[in-house]
Amino acid sequence: MENAVHASDAGGRVANRPVPTTPGISLPLALVLGRLLRPQRHLYALAVWLEATPWAYRAFTAVEKAVKGKLFGCRMCAQCALPSTAYACPMSCPKELRNGPCGGVAANGDCEVYPGLRCVWLVAYERAAAAGRTADLRRLQRPIDQREWGLSSWVNYWQNRDAGLWNGDTSFAPAPPIEPR
Ligand code: SF4
């Protein structure tokens, strides 16, 4: 998408460093909000209008950044993984890992980069387990388009651009164990 907002926000990712963030709302409440915001005809129309109206797009994106930043530590990657991570933002992981934790998680669950802060992926698992939704975490997250940083994830979502973000299979078997040498 060509948009004036695109280039002007390109540096935001560097200034906005990832810090492990525990969501500010419960998973059940986040799921309710997620249902209210799922793609619908009027939201599709709004998204199209926003992209055609740069000043409105910038204002809308600023509001989105403030709201999602406060609730989830959102960094505006524009390709939102929240529905498949129990609404714990994987881009708040200092390594931006979208498919599970690294090998450096401390025994007490702390992040290796930020001791004292809980690993985002442990937070995601604990929230999902409490709600009986661990199958959500088994989705394979595909690589994101790094050119989208700073754009609106809602505008993308409402136009069905997130359809290929993860695989739809929630029941794929875990990888076979590595054979000892
Ligand atoms: S848009 Fe990206 S950075 Fe923002 S909450 Fe979703 S996954 Fe996290």
121 in a structural domain: yes
**From the CB of 68, is ligand 1 less than 6 Å away?**
yes
In-domain check, residue 181: no
Tokens for 181? Answer: 């040498």
Query: How much of the chain, in percent, has pLDDT values that exceed 70?
Result: 85
| pLDDT tens digit sequence for 127-169 | 999 999 999 999 999 999 999 999 999 999 999 998 889 887 5
3-state secondary structure of 134: helix
Q: Which residue has the tokens 């590595």?
A: 178
The whole-chain average pLDDT of the chain stands at 88
Domain assignment present for residue 34? The answer is yes
For residue 171, being part of any structural domain is answered with no
* Residue 157, pLDDT score: 95
Domain assignment present for residue 100? The answer is yes
User: Is residue 92 domain-resident?
Assistant: yes
In a domain? residue 163: no
Q: Which amino acid is located at 52 in the chain?
A: A
Span 110-134, average pLDDT: 96
- Separation CA 180–CA 178 (nearest Å): 6
Residue 180 lies in a domain: no
Residues 6+ apart with CB under 8 A from 153: 64, 68, 74, 76, 77, 78, 79, 80, 162
Q: How far is CA 113 from CA 71, 122, 123, in A?
A: 22, 15, 16
All residues at 6 or more sequence positions from 112 whose CB lies less than 8 Å from its CB, including other chains: 102, 104, 105, 106
Q: What is the mean pLDDT of residues 63-71?
A: 96
Looking at residue 15, its pLDDT comes to 67
Residue 89, domain extent:
4-158
Rounded average pLDDT over 12-32: 89
Indicate whether 68 pLDDT > 70.
Answer: yes
- Residue 165 Cβ inside 6 Å of ligand 1? The answer reads no
With residue 29 as reference, give the H or E element that holds it.
Answer: helix 27-36
User: What single DSSP character describes residue 144?
Assistant: P
Pair of tokens at residue 14: 């560097």
The finding on whether 75 has its CB within 6 A of some atom of ligand 1 is: yes
Q: Which of 153, 166, 88 is nearest to 127 (CA)?
A: 88
pTM: 0.85
How many angstroms does the Cα of residue 131 sit away from the middle of ligand 1? 21
**For the chain, how many structural domains are there in total?**
1
Residue 170 is predicted with a pLDDT of 46
Q: Is the pLDDT of residue 32 over 80?
A: yes
pLDDT at 175 over 90: no
The answer to whether 26 and 116 are in contact (CB under 8 A) is no
Give Cβ neighbours of residue 152 (< 8 Å, ≥ 6 apart): 50, 57, 60, 61, 64, 78
